[in-house]
Amino acid sequence: MTRTLTIPRPDDWHLHLRDGAMMAGVLPATTAHFARALIMPNLVPPVVTGLDAAAYRDRIVDALPQGAGFTPLMTLYLTEATVAADVVAAHKAGMITAVKLYPAGATTNSASGVRDFDRVRAVFEAMAEAGVPLCVHGEVTDPAVDIFDREAVFIDRVLDPLRRAVPGLRVVMEHVTTADAVAYVQSADAGLAATITTHHLVINRNHILAGGIRPHYYCLPVAKRERHRLELLAAATSGDARFFLGTDSAPHADALKLAPCGCAGCFTAPNTLPVLAHMFEAADALPRLGDFVARFGAAFYGLAQNPGTLTLIKGDTPQSFGAWPTGAGPVTVFDPGFEVLWRVACRDERLPRP
């Protein structure tokens, strides 16, 4: 039986594109499906000023496939040297959509991130005043804290005190992985939201470690126990507008993943929508997919829903995703571990009658 689902053109509220040959290689995977994406600034060196963001946006636009109706929404990488006035000016000029907080050492290319949160208090206050959202990588980096506890501890030690100290700050807790984070967001007022990735809805920590180590499932924050995954799935499919899609699609060349110290990141851009359609259908929540991928995030960021639609079709033949070629080497596409029967209809595809 063929099924179709038509949703507004979606947004990805957390995307790594990198730069140069890698960016040129992975960009079409996103632009084929998404109308907008919030672009992460953790390049080397990072995107720290409004001028950096403008230059990076130009490089993305230059690399867009022909005819791609795609808008990159830029972010600034917060450092202890960030100047509040530069952030506010870049936001006012429409150059940036948000600021990204990486605790120093928390993840890929986070060495320039924040060590002492008091040193960026003035930036947070200026952002609250000007309505600039803060996107947070919510993990502590204290080596004494177990890696599976780092998100929950971050809420108590950093996020909650920060939100109390700067109550007007709008915060997105990125790529939440725990029941603790879901509960914290649910308990908060309208100034807090969370993104959820595709892969954290599908895998738990057994997928990474049981029966052999699987580097392509290693990402940060690392996937947790099954009970946490179930809470994420419940939140994503609940219709609560505070939870929306940010894929955290994070391409690394296979040679850098399959290494003694492999990089963190799952590359989900090519199959996120088919995988999500499967997960939402299995949760009996297919009618809510459009909210999660195309409405709730835009509403939080104060943007209009994208014009146009995207249609997904469920057929009988599983799609396979393997290595995605790029000029920086092949990147393995996330394997959800089930047959992917949903696919995105090509623009010129003649759709079966409903």
Chain mean position to CA 1: 32
29 binds ligand DOR (CB under 6 A): no
Beta strands of the chain (E only): which ranges? 3-8, 11-15, 36-39, 71-77, 98-101, 134-136, 171-173, 192-196, 243-245, 309-319, 323-324, 331-332, 340-344
Q: Output the smallest distance, CB 40 to Zn ion, in A.
A: 5
Q: Which is nearer to ligand DOR, 290 or 336 (CB)?
A: 336
Q: Which of 31, 107, 249, 332 binds ligand DOR (CB under 6 A)?
A: 107
Q: Output the smallest distance, CB 349 to Zn ion, in A.
A: 32
Task: Single out the catalytic residue among 248, 254, 291, 335.
Answer: 248
Q: Output the smallest distance, CB 151 to ligand DOR, in A.
A: 11
Question: For the window 127-156, what string marks contact with ligand DOR as x by the rule CB under 6 A?
Answer: ----------x-------------------
The neighbour count for residue 283, using CB atoms within 10 Å, is: 17
195 binds ligand DOR (CB under 6 A): no
197 binds ligand DOR (CB under 6 A): no
Q: Which is nearer to ligand DOR, 9 or 228 (CB)?
A: 228
Q: Which is nearer to ligand DOR, 4 or 105 (CB)?
A: 105
Task: Quote the longest CA-to-CA distance of the chain.
Answer: 59
Angle of helix 226-236 relative to helix 272-282, nearest 10 degrees? 90
Handedness of CA 125, 159, 295, 348 (dihedral sign): positive
219 binds ligand DOR (CB under 6 A): yes
Q: Kindly report the backbone phi and psi dihedral angles of residue 246, in degrees, each rounded to the nearest multiple of 5, phi listed first.
A: -135, 110
Q: Which is nearer to ligand DOR, 249 or 306 (CB)?
A: 249
- Sequence-distant (6+) residues with CB within 8 A of 277 are 5, 286, 289, 312, 314, 342
Task: Identify what 332 binds: Zn ion, ligand DOR, none; CB under 5 to 8 Å per kind.
Answer: none
Distance CA 199, CA 219 (A): 9
Q: Which is nearer to ligand DOR, 106 or 298 (CB)?
A: 106
Compute the C-alpha angle 35/78/205, nearest 5°.
70
Are 196 and 176 a contacting pair, CB within 8 Å? Answer: yes
| Span interacting with Zn ion, options 150-158, 184-192, 242-250, 308-316, rule CB under 5 A | 242-250
Q: Which of 108, 178, 247, 249 binds ligand DOR (CB under 6 A)?
A: 108
Helix, strand, coil tally for the chain in percent (to 5): 35, 20, 45
Whose tokens are 């390049």? That residue is: 43
248 binds Zn ion (CB under 5 A): yes
Q: Which of 31, 42, 79, 195 binds ligand DOR (CB under 6 A)?
A: 42
Q: Which is nearer to ligand DOR, 8 or 113 (CB)?
A: 113
Question: For the window 22-61, what string marks contact with Zn ion as x by the rule CB under 5 A?
Answer: ----------------------------------------
Q: In the range 311-350, which residues lie near ligand DOR by CB under 6 A?
A: none
Q: Which residues pair with 75 in a beta bridge?
A: 98
Are 329 and 26 a contacting pair, CB within 8 Å? Answer: no
Chain mean position to CA 104: 19
- Sequence-distant (6+) residues with CB within 8 A of 212 are none
Q: Which of 26, 220, 236, 275 binds ligand DOR (CB under 6 A)?
A: 220
Task: Identify what 140 binds: ligand DOR, Zn ion, none; CB under 5 to 8 Å per kind.
Answer: none
Catalytic status, residue 58: no
Q: What residue ranges bind ligand DOR (CB under 6 A)?
A: 16, 42, 107-108, 137, 219-220, 248, 250, 264-265
Q: Which positions are annotated as active-site residues?
A: 248
Binding region for Zn ion (CB under 5 A): 248
